[in-house]
Homo-oligomer: A and B are copies of this chain.
Amino acid sequence: MKVADRMARLVASDPVFRKDNRTMLPRTELFKDTLKKAAHAWKRIVELRLTEEEANLLRLYMDQPGYVDLHWVRIPTILYSLYILIYNIEAIVKEQQKKWLPLAYKFQIIGFYAQTELGHGSNVQGLETTATFDPKTDEFVIHSPTLTSGKWWPGGLGKASTHAIVHARLITEGKDYGIHGFIVQLRSLEDHSPLPSVTLGDIGGKFGSGAYNSMDNGVLQFDHLHIPRDQMLMRLSQVTKEEKYVHSDVPKQLLYGTMVYVRQTIVADASKAVTCCLYCCKVQCYSKAVLNYKTQQSRLFPLLASAYAFRFVGEWLKWLYTDVTHKLEAKDFSTLQEAHACTAGLKAVTTFDAIEECQKLCGGHGYLNSSGLPELFAVYVPACTYEGDNVVLLLQIARFLMKTVSQLASGKQPVGTTAYMGNIQYLMQCKCGVTTAEDWLNPAAIKEVFEARALRMAVNCAHNISKAPSQEEGWYYAYEFKAF
């Protein structure tokens, strides 16, 4: 039996993992249910000595957002694993690892990742929380100077966690060095109560029944909390006892690797969601009848095609992540920008509203919790927002494409997925060789058509932008162009 089937059965046959009552549980019960499932899953993983692949599949089929999601990205390092990924496995320097990882491994401390603030979501550069170095005590003072600087949304913060990686503006010798990470204890390890100088709580109910209500997303304010200097994450840079800010020789570009990773997982999920939706549509007795209508087909079949495309592109992104990681380790940054634009664009394109369309295609049935679509929708719709608002990401990729087009004239060869743009002489004037329906079965013909169309649109768009009175106006036109 395939490993995926084995893990699916393991989840389906275990009453602790039941899902049928999930949309009916009041939030408190739902949260307790999530804690019980997380503990039980961990117990099973240990008892059955599951591999990392098996454990990830178990979590996938358990399919309930919870505070442990942040730990499970990379078993067995567990705690802070997401962060470790961000800084490419060895983010936390050796001494820091020695101190924190064993505690984390035994669940003696539970960590989460505190970046977003009430007034600042995707805009990391706008974060307001400060970490001011005090040479007298050799400590950082973590502080929330405004209402909008309160950490807002982090999963695990509301109830479960004891420690956090807090992102804050590092200030030393009166100078602001921008956003850095700090390990901060928030709750007592004795009775789980918040430490003095820390105010925190759950931010309340979220969209849908079940869905993300199983997660304890939280709010957090600091009132001059002191932490030892060595709790700064020091792989990329550090502050000395003498207040000096010192860069390490590790290149900053390493930070981008993780975005590729996280967005790759979102794209993979997108294929799952579309597939589930289509399955729901198909088995609904209602839709069986209406599937014969051309209007229904014209809405459903493109989504089905997308489900396949997302599945394949998800697999390809795994390869891209491995490729980028290897190149970064060798300090080769030549494809990084293209890979980054690529994942940004794919994340935005794959998280548009297929589930809602499927819901509507099911008529009233898609609105009932028993169809599974409402919960799927509620879990999936924030993907349009987290890890970068889709419109912002589309503008990023637009900017990258415009830059690539402008560099073609200078002879700079585009790389990766944009390599085809190097063929500009041919693609701008070629005529489609397709004459019969069968010709479309030739993948090379389809590929050429897409390349010619994409390049001509990009060149046309660059032309439009160059005519705009200002660059900002130009980007606005670029966006309008996309809408057509």
Cβ contact within 8 Å between B391 and A364:
no
Q: A152 touches which one: B26, B364, B395 (CB < 8 A)?
A: B364
In the assembled complex, the Cα of A286 lies from the Cα of B153 at a distance in Å of 13
A424 to B148, alpha carbons, bound, how many Å? Answer: 58
Give Cα A122 to B294, complex, Å: 17
Asked if A203 is an interface residue, CB under 8 A from chain B, the answer is yes
A interface size (C-beta, 8 A): 59
> B295, A479: Cβ atoms under 8 Å?
yes
Q: How far does the Cβ of A156 sit from chain B's closest Cβ, in whole Å?
A: 16
B479–A121 touching, CB < 8 Å: no
Give the nearest-CB partner of A153 in chain B. Answer: B364
| Among listed A176-184, A206-214, A332-340, interface-contacting one | A206-214
Q: Are B479 and A368 within 8 A (Cβ)?
A: no
Chain B's nearest CB lies how many Å from the CB of A320?
27
* Chain B hits for A208, CB < 8 A: 207-209, 374, 378
Which of chain B's residues have a CB closer than 8 A to the CB of A213?
209
* Contact status of A285 and B204, CB under 8 A, knowing A294-B472, A364-B152: no
**Interchain Cβ contacts under 8 Å between A and B, 8 examples:** A121-B286, A153-B364, A205-B209, A207-B368, A207-B374, A208-B208, A208-B378, A298-B476
Question: In this assembly, does A382 line the interface, its C-beta being within 8 Å of a C-beta of chain B?
Answer: yes
Instruction: Tell whether, in the assembled complex, residue A285 and residue B119 are in contact, meaning their CB atoms are under 8 Å apart.
Output: yes
Whether, in the assembled complex, A230 has its beta carbon less than 8 Å from a beta carbon of chain B, the answer is no
> Is A27 in the interface zone, CB < 8 Å from B?
yes
Number of copies: 2
In whole angstroms, how far apart are the Cα atoms of A480 and B148 in the complex? 46
A151 to chain B, nearest CB (A): 12
**A469-480: contact bitstring with B at CB < 8 Å (1 yes, 0 no)?**
000110110011
A381 within 8 A of B: yes
In the complex, which residues 191-218 of chain A have their Cβ closer than 8 Å to any Cβ of chain B? 203-209, 212-213
Interface string of A332-370 (1 = CB under 8 A from B): 000000000000000000000100100110011011111
How far does the alpha carbon of A389 sit from the alpha carbon of B472 in the complex, in Å? 40
Q: Which B-chain residue is minimally distant from A210 (CB atoms)? A: B205
Give every chain B residue within 8 A of A382 (Cβ-Cβ): 364, 367
Q: Which residues of B contact A119 (CB under 8 A)?
A: 285-286, 289
Are A374 and B206 in contact (CB-based, < 8 A)? yes
Question: Whole-angstrom distance from the CB of A117 to the nearest CB of chain B?
Answer: 10
Of all A-B residue pairs in the complex, the 9 with the closest CB atoms, nearest first, are A205-B369, A207-B374, A294-B476, A121-B363, A26-B26, A207-B367, A23-B205, A367-B382, A153-B364
Say whether A27 contacts B24, CB under 8 Å.
yes
Query: Are B367 and A385 within 8 A (Cβ)?
Result: yes
Per a CB cutoff under 8 Å, which of B285, B374, B384, B480 touches A298? B480
Q: Apart from A118-B286, A207-B378, list 4 A-B contacts with CB within 8 A.
A: A23-B205, A208-B208, A294-B479, A363-B389
Given contacts A122-B363, A367-B381, contact A295 B391 (CB under 8 A): yes
B118 pairs with A285, CB closer than 8 A: yes
Beta-carbon contact of A295 and B209 below 8 Å: no
